[in-house]
Amino acid sequence: MKKLLLASVLMTAALSAPAFAADPLAGWNDNKPQSLQSLKAPVRVVNLWATWCGPCRKEMPAMSAWYKAQKKGSVDMVGIALDTSDNIGRFLKQTPVSYHVWRYTGADSRNFMKSYGNNVGVLPFTVVEAPKCGYKQTITGEVNEKSLTAAVNAAKEKCK
Question: Tell me, what's the pLDDT at 13?
Answer: 34
What is the tens place of the pLDDT at every residue in 4-57? 333 333 333 333 334 444 579 999 999 999 999 999 999 999 999 999 999 999
For residue 7, how many C-alpha atoms fall within 13 Å in the half-sphere facing its CB?
A: 4
Examine residue 95 and state whether it is found in any structural domain, yes or no: yes
pTM of the model: 0.85
Q: Which range marks the domain in which residue 95 is found?
A: 26-158
Examine residue 143 and state whether it is found in any structural domain, yes or no: yes
Q: In total, how many domains does the chain have?
A: 1
**For residue 136, what is the domain's CATH number?**
3.40.30.10
- What is the C-alpha to C-alpha distance for residues 155 and 152, in angstroms, rounded to an integer? 5
pLDDT interval class at 1 (50, 70, 90): very low
What is the tens place of the pLDDT at every residue in 70-106? 999 999 999 999 999 999 999 999 999 999 999 999 9
β-partners of residue 49 are 81
Examine residue 5 and state whether it is found in any structural domain, yes or no: no
* β-strands 25-27, 100-104 pairing: antiparallel
Examine residue 21 and state whether it is found in any structural domain, yes or no: no
Examine residue 9 and state whether it is found in any structural domain, yes or no: no
